[in-house]
């Protein structure tokens, strides 16, 4: 898949830990930050994720879907973040390669493919 296809990037921040009166953990919320993922890194992540999708036989299924490259690790340095590449169809269904780790700016490992909506 060509990385010339339009894409968006998002850096999310995990909210603070919260607890109820009994000390049980409450859900944490994610919020968007004003940080961004560099276009060069995003293109390398898309190429890497596309290869993983092709290896699994899903690349043709996501042709023409919108692409978002994101991370939920806003508190980490870009080199220490885990990234995800998500393809979303018009109905809102998605396939994504999650947990992509980088080494010196190059994707080197992922934690698999997931289906979402």
What residues pair up with 68 in beta bridges, in sequence order? 8, 86
Question: Across all residues in the chain, what is the average pLDDT?
Answer: 94
- Output Rg (C-alpha) for the chain, integer angstroms: 15
Q: Mean pLDDT, to the nearest integer, of 102-111?
A: 94
3 confidence band (pLDDT: 50, 70, 90): low
In total, the chain counts a number of residues equal to: 117
79 confidence band (pLDDT: 50, 70, 90): very high
């Amino acid at each position: 898949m060509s990385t010339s296809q339009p894409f968006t990037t998002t850096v999310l921040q995990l909210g603070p830990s919260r607890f109820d009166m009994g000390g049980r953990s409450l859900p944490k919320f994610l919020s968007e930050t004003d940080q961004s993922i560099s276009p060069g890194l995003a293109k390398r992540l898309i190429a890497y994720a596309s290869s993983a999708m092709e290896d699994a036989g899903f690349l043709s299924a996501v042709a023409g879907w919108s692409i978002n490259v994101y991370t939920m690790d806003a508190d980490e340095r870009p080199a220490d973040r885990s990234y995800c590449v998500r393809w979303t169809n018009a109905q809102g269904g998605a396939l994504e390669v999650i947990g992509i780790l980088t080494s010196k700016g190059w994707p080197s490992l992922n934690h698999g493919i997931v289906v979402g909506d």
